[in-house]
Amino acid sequence: MSLDSRSAAPVQPAAHPKPSPLGSFLKLRELPVILALVVLVAVTAAVNPLFLSQQGIKDLLLNATILMILAVGQTLVIITRNIDLSVGSILGLVAFGTGSVFVAAPELPIILVFLIGIAFGAVLGAVNGLLITIAKVPALVITLGTLYIFRGINNAWAGGTQYFAGERPDAFGNLSVDTVLGFPVITLIAVVVVAVVAVYMLGTRPGRDLYAIGSEPEAAKLFGIPVARRVLLAFVVNGALAGLAGILYASRFNSVGATTGTGLELDVVAAAVVGGVAIFGGSGTVVGAAIGALLLTTITSALTALRVDKFWQQAIVGILILAAVVIDRLAGARAARKLRIAEARNV
């Protein structure tokens, strides 16, 4: 006797043997955001050719890099039907930490600084994940709490101190200046991150488990998935990626201090939602989220390049989010109908 589709847990067994309809379905979800991006870029470039100049493209990619990495991490968490609002604060802490490390030990190899930053982020993510999985309390509340706490620690630690680009090695700052095949180095790092996580999500057991958990946690548990461990994993990875984003922030921008990364959390969630990640878990891809991030940051640049009144920018972002939710809803309704028919036959 199932009251509704959610307790039917058919997604589980059905998802594994039949990847092809699922695959095309996911493509459909990313299609609108890709189309929006293409149209936006085309229109802007037609009006202001400088938009797609070498410097223009480089700036577009650089602007998207940090949000892209954050959106990928956030997607992992959202897919498990959780949310992490503390990413802006984690980014801030790691960015300031990176600045401090370079001041304290200027000779440290850059790769080591990356490892330290990522580990630091992962630890902060683990704090979130452990609180959520052990105490079994809602992620929204916990990460709202750690949003405040991490930011508070950042303020207490940094005070009025800010570290400037000049206090970091040139080689580190050049990561966001130098290009390889036209792509800035930090953007390539982001692309690699997206690719690795995307493969992991679709090609490995733990990755698939995250979707299962998000679709129906109880069923996932009955199915034998270590739910708590997987959710913890999602938070740790998200923290690590926020840490990576923090390091890249320190590479790209001039100053890191007490307020670095404030207010980023909603942009990140917005990027994921625009990229077709369902806010209540179980569907969406990291590639979609990354494109969502690219779209949001491109809008900002496009409006300036078009000399459109910048005041419209935020309103347009809002409309985009709403559009994404509606599209997601329509796609979801179609999928649910299919699912119910299949389920009815099984019964």
Partner 1 sequence: MRFIHSGSTRRRAAFAALATSAALVLSACGGGAASEGDATEGGSGTDGEQTITFIPKQLNNPYTDVVLGGGEDGAAEAGFASSEVVGPLDASASSQVSFINAETQRGTNVIVIAANDPDAVGPALEEARTAGAKIVAFDSDTNPDYRDLFVSQVNAKDVALIQLELISEQIGGEGEIAILSATANATNQNEWIKYMEEELASNPDYADIELVAKVYGDDDDTKSFQEAQGLLQAYPDLKGIISPTTVGIAATARYMSTSEYKGEVALTGLGLPNEMRPFVKDGTVTEFALWDPAQLGYVAAFAGKALADGDITGETGDTFEAGELGDREIGEDGIVLVGPPTQFNADNIDDYDF
Partner 2 sequence: MSDPTGARTILPAGDGPSRTPAKGARMAAPGSTRPGTERRPGPGRRSPGSTTTQAAPTGRTGAARLLLGRDAVMIYLLLVVVFYACIVVPRFASPVTVGFLLLDVIPTLLIALPMTLVIISGEIDLSVASIAGLTSALMGVLWQAGTPIALVLVICVLAGLVAGAFNGVLIAYLGLPSLAVTIGTLALFRGLALVVIGDNAVANFPPGLTAFFTSKLGGTGIPTVMVGVVVLIVAFAVVLHFTPFGRGLFALGYSKEAATFVGIDVAQSKFLLYLATGTVSALAGIYWTLRYSSARSDNASGLELAVIAAVLLGGVSIFGGKGSIPGVLAGVLLIGTINYALKLDRVSEVVLIIVTGSLLILSVVAPTIPTALRRARHARRVRSAPLS
Counting contacts by CB under 8 A, is residue 194 touching partner 1? no
| 280 touches partner 2 by CB under 8 A | yes
Closest approach of partner 1 to the CB of residue 136, in Å: 24
The item of partner 1, partner 2, none sharing an interface with residue 55, based on CB under 5 to 8 Å by kind, is partner 1
- Of partner 1, partner 2, none, which one does residue 318 interact with (CB within 5 to 8 Å by kind)? partner 2
The option from partner 1, partner 2, none interacting with 50 (CB < 5 to 8 A, set by class) reads: partner 1
Residue 111, binding choice from partner 2, partner 1, none, Cβ under 5 to 8 Å by partner class:
none
Q: Are 327 and 32 in contact (CB under 8 A)?
A: yes
Taking the alpha carbons of 315, 316, 317, 322 in that order, is the dihedral positive or negative? positive
Q: Are 60 and 298 in contact (CB under 8 A)?
A: yes
Q: Residues 6 or more apart from 94 whose CB is under 8 A from it?
A: 117, 120, 121, 124, 242, 243, 245, 246, 247
269, 147 Cβ separation under 8 angstroms: no
Q: Choose the stretch contacting partner 1; rule: CB under 8 A; options: 1-9, 138-146, 200-208, 299-307.
A: 299-307
- Residue 51 binding: pick among partner 2, partner 1, none (C-beta 5-8 Å cut-off by kind): partner 1
Report the distance separating Cα 263 and Cα 269, nearest Å.
11
Question: According to CB under 8 A, which residues from 300 to 329 bind partner 1?
Answer: 300-301, 304-307, 310
Single out the residue of 66, 67, 47, 49 nearest to residue 57, CA to CA. 49
C-beta of residue 74 within 8 angstroms of C-beta of residue 293: no
The only residue of 12, 63, 74, 283 in contact with partner 1, by rule CB under 8 A: 63
Q: Which does 257 bind (CB under 5 to 8 A by kind): partner 2, partner 1, none?
A: partner 1
- Please select the residue that binds partner 1; options are 45, 162, 226, 228, rule is CB under 8 A: 162
The answer to whether 86 touches 150, Cβ cutoff 8 Å, is yes
217 contacts 95 by C-beta, under 8 angstroms: no
Q: Of 38, 42, 46, 50, which one interacts with partner 1 (CB under 8 A)?
A: 50
Nearer to partner 2 among residue 27 and residue 334 (C-beta): 334
Per rule CB under 8 A, is residue 160 in the interface with partner 2? no
Binding status of residue 65 toward partner 1 by CB under 8 A = no
Burial class for 14, CB neighbours closer than 10 Å (0-12, 13-18, 19+): middle
Contact of 33 with 288, CB cutoff 8 Å: yes
Q: Considering the complex, state which of residue 5 and residue 304 has its C-beta at the smaller distance from partner 1.
A: 304
Ordered DSSP codes for 103-141 = HH-TTS-HHHHHHHHHHHHHHHHHHHHHHHHHHT--HHH
> Whole-angstrom distance between the N-terminal and C-terminal Cα of the chain?
9
CB 287, CB 78: distance < 8 Å: no
Which residue stretch of 48-56, 101-109, 162-170, 216-224 sits at the interface with partner 2 (rule: CB under 8 A)?
216-224
Asked if residue 254 binds partner 2 (CB under 8 A), the reply is no
Q: Report what 317 binds from partner 2, partner 1, none; CB cut-off 5-8 Å by kind.
A: partner 2
Partner touching 100 among partner 2, partner 1, none, CB below 5 to 8 Å by kind: none
Sign of CA dihedral 114, 116, 117, 119: positive
Per CB under 8 A, contacts with partner 2 among 175-194 are none
Q: Which parts of this chain interact with partner 1 (CB under 8 A)?
A: 48, 50-51, 54-56, 58-59, 63, 155, 158-160, 162, 164-166, 173, 176-177, 252-255, 257-260, 262, 300-301, 304-307, 310
